[in-house]
Structure 1
Amino acid sequence: MADAEFSFDYNSFDYNSSYTPVNLSYEGLAHKIHPICSGEGLCMLLFVVNVLIIFLGIVGNGLVIWIAGFKMKKSVNTTWYLSLALSDFIFCAVLPFNTIYMATMDWTFGLFMCKFTSFVMFLNMFSSIFLLVVISMDRCASVMFPVWAQNQRTLKMASVIVVLAWVTSVALSIPSVVFRDVQEHLGMSRCMNNYTASEYSHRTVALSRFILGFIIPFLIIIICYSIIIFKLRSNQMAKSTKPFKIMTALIVTFFICWLPYHTFVLMELNQSLPNHILAHGLRIGTSAASANSFLNPILYVFMGNDFRRKFKSSFLSKIENAIGEEGRTLSRYLSRSSSMDARASTHI
């Protein structure tokens, strides 16, 4: 069984299946002519969308990397956002290979790139959500234990946590390397996942990605944010939510973008929809997931403090202000909470 993973390979079923992608014709196969999407409307639309994602993602995340890595003072917050931007930048840099494959349905880049592009894409998925979990837990710890956070929330600790998140993401992305393969199908090269060696490999890999890369992180983030909201309200600080609004936007965007992909992958496992509907659904879900990688820099800009009032300021200043704003506001909150806890302790 070869399945449709995050690779723009939408013909995800057995070679014996009667389903043929809508943008293939036997005449085209015979002559190896690859017009972009063969005039198919949905394919053309998604091709344009992916080109925009590549351009905006590389430019936007490149600016965030430059600002957070070289223009701003290193801090815990810049470490988080720099890591997110690096993950998205790498993803967008690899995306052109799969965009070309989506448009031509013929993989011409060899076995190594077939495995590498799939690996990088799942590396982006896992590293992004793990970093969002880390940031949520960091915010929660800062609110629940302000004195501890003031003393222990160091750049060195943040760097170690980021490395651990990336190592875990690499380990969970290895199945993309193991099962990825290039095979000839109807006279064309296909970059596909080949699970013929084990009956349960397909289901195991798909469910593990859904559980570890979506459900469990989502539950952890929900718990962290519930604690944060409860703590802020109990301290009558409900208005002091600036440190969390960008994170909230990033988290909501991630889950909205990735939910369609995971939904159609699960449907594919159960064959609950006709093949052609699954193929189109995976196309749309894959492109929606890709969009997450260029939206983050836009959120940094539009979620920055007083965006409308400062509309005339430079694009770079908006990004720097958005990233730095959380650190400044959170530091003020930690200082205030620490002093309050210190005063309370003198009365015990």
Structure 2
Amino acid sequence: MDSTTEADYPGDYNDVLKELEIHSVDLPAGHCRHAACVITVIFNVIIFLLGTIGNGAVIWIAGFKMKKSVNTTWYLSLALSDFIFCSTLPFIISRLVTDTWIFGLFMCKFTSFVTTLNMYSSIFILVIISVDRCITVKFPVWAQNQRTVKKASAVIVMAWFVSVLLSIPSAKFRDITKNSTTVICYGNYEHHHTTVVFLRFTFGFLIPLLAISTCYSILICKLKANQMSKSTKPYKIMTVLITTFFVCWLPFHIVSIIELEQKEHDPVFNTAVQVTAALATANSFINPFLYAFMAKDMKKKCYSFLSKIESAIDEETRSAFQRTSITNSVDNRVSTVV
């Protein structure tokens, strides 16, 4: 390893430390020995194990076991996003344990890219699901004729394409630097840090929040007025999924914005960044368990975890058909009277 000093870093050394992104903030001397680092490693290991197993189960059930539908397309894509991210966590865990980055520049850029891609793709899919629910309730007859798996797949592909484009800056401005003992994978934003942070906040949080809030306002008003759905369980599942996403990611965005004003290397603030980053990461393994615990058969202990996930996803499909059938029945009666 080449020998370098603090003067060899691109820009001021403290600026380099301050600009380190998610999972690459705290740089203690030596290996992972202090309590905060040990807890972070354990937390990431748990997320990796539960996230890969849970999301893998959803991918298997929604992708291979269940009949293809619009709803399974949504949840399959959401699980795939979380699974890809969780599969990169061993690289992060290794960095925390060894206190150095040993995987080279490409993986430094790739892990940052995947993290941002997971954020964008997850929230975009949640927006798509919210719009789909709104359209299904507001225009049930049209939805029955136009909601197809082929069109849903096209929408998902478009969402992933936009997510990839928005995630490119996370890879572009990622870099590694060396000293005599360690290699650091960090965000070398130069003069673009503010732009990247506000791009992330605007498209990864603010606009989706407004879109989802609008959809749910319309949805709630329509359901209360017509009482079209006998079961509110699908909406509870979606409400919890969306609430969980925002609870997990909002602190990260807030800290990222505050970080723009940080002039000095502050260990306390770095701890806050680590905590909010870990909370954001946790969102990737929570969704499969929400499917399981909010299914109708939650209290029946004899059912397996996989059955609960399938029940939760399948309930979405049944609910959509019930709403459409009710509306068609009403329309037919009105037509007969007229």
Q: Could you say whether these structures have the same fold, taking a TM-score greater than 0.5 normalized by the shorter chain as the test?
A: yes
Q: Which residue of 2 aligns with 1:202?
A: 193
2:316 to 313, 319, 326: 326
Tell me, yes or no, if structure 1 residue 267 matches structure 2 residue 264: no
Q: CA deviation at 1:62?
A: 0.6
CA 157–275 in structure 1, closer or farther in 2 if over 3 Å, else same:
same
CA distance in 1, matches of 2:179, 2:198: 27
Q: C-alpha root-mean-square deviation of aligned residues, in Å?
A: 1.8
Q: Which residue of 2 aligns with 1:111?
A: 105
| Structure 1 counterpart SS, 2:88 | helix
CA 341–105 in structure 1, closer or farther in 2 if over 3 Å, else same:
farther
Amino acid at match of 2:105: L
* Most deviating of 107-116 and 329-338: 329-338
Tell me, yes or no, if structure 1 residue 173 matches structure 2 residue 167: yes
CA 115–145 in structure 1, closer or farther in 2 if over 3 Å, else same:
same
User: May I ask how many residue pairs the two structures share in their alignment?
Assistant: 322
* Most deviating of 292-301 and 331-340: 331-340
Q: Is the 8 A contact 1:250 1:296 kept in 2?
A: yes
Q: Which residue of 1 aligns with 2:301?
A: 311
TM-score scaled to structure 1, two decimals?
A: 0.88
| Structure 1 counterpart SS, 2:176 | strand
Percent identity of paired positions between Structure 1 and Structure 2: 55
Tell me, yes or no, if structure 1 residue 147 matches structure 2 residue 175: no
Q: Which residue of 2 aligns with 1:193?
A: 187
| Structure 2 counterpart SS, 1:92 | helix
Tell me, yes or no, if structure 1 residue 9 matches structure 2 residue 24: yes
1:1-348 maps to which residues of 2 (within 5 A)? 1-2=15-16, 3-6=19-22, 8-10=23-25, 21=27, 23-24=28-29, 28=30, 34=31, 37=32, 39-185=33-179, 187-196=181-190, 199=191, 201-237=192-228, 240-271=231-262, 275-308=266-299, 310-344=300-334
What whole-Å deviation, never above 9, does each CA across 1:175-217 have from its counterpart, x for those lacking one?
0121010112464110011122xx2x10000001011001110
CA distance in 1, matches of 2:284, 2:80: 10
CA distance in 1, matches of 2:152, 2:275: 35
Q: Which residue of 2 aligns with 1:16?
A: none
* Most deviating of 264-273 and 313-322: 264-273
Structure 2, unaligned runs of 5 or more: 1-14
Q: CA deviation at 1:102?
A: 2.5
CA distance in 2, matches of 1:261, 1:102: 19
TM-score scaled to structure 2, two decimals?
A: 0.91
